[in-house]
Amino acid sequence: MTLHDTTRRDFLKTSGTAFAGAAVLPGFLDGVVRRAAAPGAEAAATSQLVSACSWCGSACGFKATVKDGVLTFVEGLPEDPQGGGKMCAKGKAAAGYLYDPDRLKYPMKRTNPVKKIGVDPGWVKISWDEALDTAAAKLKETIEKNGRDSVLVLGLPSPDVWARFVNCIGTSNRFDHWDECFLANRVVSANVIGGFVWCHDFANAKYIVTFGWDLVGKAKVVWARAVAEAKKKGAKIVSFNPYKAAGTSVIADEAISIRPGSDLAVVNAMIHVILAEGLYDETFVKGLTNFEEHETAIRAHFAPYTPEWAEELSDVPAGTIRRIAREFATQGPAIAPIHKKTPSANYANGTETSFAITILNVLAGTIDRPGGRFFPRTHSIPGIDAIVPPPKYPAKSGVDIVGRHAHPFLKAVGSGMFSCLADGMRKNPGKIQMGIITRYSTMAFPNPPEVEAELAKIPFTVCTDLFPNEIIELADIVLPQSLSYESSDLVARDHHAPYKMTIVRQPLVPPMFETKPLGAILLAWGLKAFPEYWKNADGTPINMTVVLNEKTKRAGLGADFAEMKAKGFVADVAPFVPRTTFPTASGKINIYVKAFADAGFEPLPTWKQKRDVPSDAYPFYLLTIIPPMQIRNTTTNNRIVNEIKGTNEVFINVQTARGLGIAEGDTVKVRSRVGEIQLPARLTEAIRPDCVLVPHGFGHQSRLMTQAYGKGAKDAVLVPGQSMDDILARKDVGGSACIMDAVVSVSKV
């Protein structure tokens, strides 16, 4: 290009508009600097805004202090019964996410065709128009040439606007991490009590038994503080966990160091005792369940599961099992919570364990009763499809690459199956021609290297995310997403909802850089790719502000979102009225699940061994936990939580370590049948001698995350993936990912 011959006027413009009365201004400043809206004004006053945390389902309410447009402090909202004025470390570290210089800031495109983690993609900053034009054109072209199922979507089924976008694509190849999380529990709960629920009324329980779920150490405030409150009120807490330093075990009245993968044996034995001794809540069980209809089969099923039988498998003395079963049944209200990525729920027998624990709660008569698991009472907030009905979505084939369609219950849920993705992609080479990935790292998968190898083969990938995790390095287009602190939403309480409660999520500061809220990204992308689905009936584009106002109004939360922002929190306090029918086909709870039997699965929780058991080659059980200051692998780059815990280590029993010649701090190699990692040893008496424990969330290999990169090691490298054939072969009705099933060897480096 040649230099322009222009006059002084071209680059020194008289600015009569923005700088009235001022002197000449270089044209360089057009669009860069303008006269302030309120010239001479002082800095904006400090303000406090109510909002809801987004880092876990607890969604604790908080008050944010914003000074001169900068978020400076967050503190719990005392009037919010869910958080109760408390916040965990990751929630309090809000500014660390918002002001992380590593966060994704601008749309970018790849210029290096070589796709591999660790290879520079050659990013170039581009405009939103270019990014979305490219992404939309590629999406339409891919669907046209290769069909809807050639698009792989890695993202949750929600929020509503995301679901609308995925429905427009019409692919059956949408997957998420649910199988590593609560999928088994979801399948079980849907078929036993009629629906999956998060609510556990710990605070009113008198007897709490946990199987691996570290309610306290996991630092989900809603549950941690409820358990603490129960303890204050005199409830007995029993924690079965091979790791005695787990927070719940620490505060428990009894901490029982159970053999990994044997929780099912103990729970079935407790059911055996309760049935045999007639200790169950007869009114509840006979009146509200199908127990009487299947009593003979149920009693026969549990008869062999004696405490003595369970002792052999679990190392828990039969007398202890018997006593705890009796106490559980008679000292209630009693509750045995079931969660997700816990040592009990994510073995190959995790579905059966969830099933058995659910039955334990049913026998205690505390489903939807004070002190038990209960269905949430929530405001009904309509989704975008109810407000702006879409044209008919394209029909989905129902056939996906991992084979979910071959499993009736997993097909019905339509989620999960990260544990099978690498296998599915290997078995369908060239099937996936485009990837759309939102807010997932490859660290979310078992055996990340094999997943990364498959994802790198996808010809074109669009990622929308907050931070530059591993998967971003495989993207062709990166769309930077705003954080929840920069976005608007209505959050209906569902983790502790004895009455209807909704909290506002509002922008504390404007979206930084060129980030956009997910809704705005999908609307803009949708208008380019599937315009008919992103317009109102009159042909104008959907306005997300109008949608949010309508949601607020229809949910009865206020006239519009502005009113909800002013209120901050809406609670329709009402007495808790226990259910007398349940949302199953019969209206009764199914202890015996005929639907499982009809589909060829076990109708009652049946003992099976965990997938991998210790051997000469791999003599130790591998345990993983998520430290309380982290959410999986997504928060590790936060400089504040990173300062609290920025790396991981391998916990080894002191006696075991001595036998292996390992001293505190030695670098050790941990090896499984699929991978190996090296970490410093941390010796402890708190772990069983046959176990080692590696905290999850560390070992990021994305150089894009400067605080997290290279610190620690990934436990997932040790965890084998699986296939749908494996799940069907073991008749796993809930499709557990088996992420706790690995066994390992340990040696000093």
Partner 1 sequence: MESGGPGPRGLLLQLAVAHTASGGPRTAAFLSGFLSRFLLDPPSPELHALLGRRVEPSLDHDGLGARAEAVARLYADADPLALAKEWTRLFVGPRRAPCRPWHDTWESDGPPRLMGPKHTSMESFYRRAGLEPARVENEPADHAGLVLALFSALAARAAGGEEVGDLLRELWEAHVASWMPRLAETLIAEARVPALTAVGEFLLEAVSPPAGRGRHAPPEP
Interface ranges with partner 1 (CB under 8 A) = 1-6, 8, 10-12, 19, 22-29, 31-37, 39-43, 68-71, 95-96, 98-102, 104-106, 108, 111, 120, 122-126, 468, 472, 478, 510-514, 639, 642-643, 703-704, 706-707
Picking from 131, 210, 198, 36, the residue whose alpha carbon sits closest to that of residue 515 is: 131
We find the least distance from the C-beta atom of residue 30 to partner 1, in angstroms, to be 9
We find the least distance from the C-beta atom of residue 620 to partner 1, in angstroms, to be 35
Identity of the residue, 107 or 343, whose beta carbon is nearer to partner 1 in the bound complex: 107
Q: Is 398 exposed, middle or buried (0-12, 13-18, 19+ CB in 10 A)?
A: exposed
Question: How far, in Å, CA of 576 to CA of 556, rounded?
Answer: 20
Q: Within 13 Å and on the Cβ side, how many CA atoms surround 381? A: 26
Instruction: Give the three-state DSSP class for 97.
Output: helix
3-state secondary structure 262-327: CHHHHHHHHHHHHHHCCCCCHHHHHHHECCHHHHHHHHHHHCCCCHHHHHHHHCCCHHHHHHHHHH
- In sequence order, the 6+-apart residues with CB closer than 8 A to the CB of 501 are 80, 81, 82, 378, 379, 492, 493, 569, 570, 571, 572
We find the least distance from the C-beta atom of residue 39 to partner 1, in angstroms, to be 4
Identity of the residue, 244 or 711, whose beta carbon is nearer to partner 1 in the bound complex: 711
We find the least distance from the C-beta atom of residue 16 to partner 1, in angstroms, to be 12
- Note whether 78 and 219 are within 8 A (CB): no
We find the least distance from the C-beta atom of residue 38 to partner 1, in angstroms, to be 9
Identity of the residue, 8 or 232, whose beta carbon is nearer to partner 1 in the bound complex: 8
Identity of the residue, 281 or 452, whose beta carbon is nearer to partner 1 in the bound complex: 452
We find the least distance from the C-beta atom of residue 182 to partner 1, in angstroms, to be 32
Alpha carbon distances (Å) from 559 to 502, 544, 550: 15, 16, 8
Question: Taking the alpha carbons of 318, 340, 737, 591 in that order, is the dihedral positive or negative?
Answer: positive
Question: How far, in Å, CA of 77 to CA of 348, rounded?
Answer: 40
**Whose structure tokens read 């109102």?**
536
Q: Is 50 exposed, middle or buried (0-12, 13-18, 19+ CB in 10 A)?
A: buried
Q: Within 13 Å and on the Cβ side, how many CA atoms surround 672? A: 26
We find the least distance from the C-beta atom of residue 537 to partner 1, in angstroms, to be 31
We find the least distance from the C-beta atom of residue 438 to partner 1, in angstroms, to be 17
Identity of the residue, 95 or 267, whose beta carbon is nearer to partner 1 in the bound complex: 95
Identity of the residue, 120 or 664, whose beta carbon is nearer to partner 1 in the bound complex: 120
Identity of the residue, 31 or 278, whose beta carbon is nearer to partner 1 in the bound complex: 31
We find the least distance from the C-beta atom of residue 484 to partner 1, in angstroms, to be 16
- Note whether 275 and 245 are within 8 A (CB): no
Identity of the residue, 673 or 703, whose beta carbon is nearer to partner 1 in the bound complex: 703
Alpha carbon distances (Å) from 125 to 255, 482, 735: 54, 17, 41
Identity of the residue, 10 or 598, whose beta carbon is nearer to partner 1 in the bound complex: 10
- Note whether 209 and 334 are within 8 A (CB): yes
Identity of the residue, 473 or 612, whose beta carbon is nearer to partner 1 in the bound complex: 473
CA R_g for the chain: 27
Question: How far, in Å, CA of 356 to CA of 354, rounded?
Answer: 5
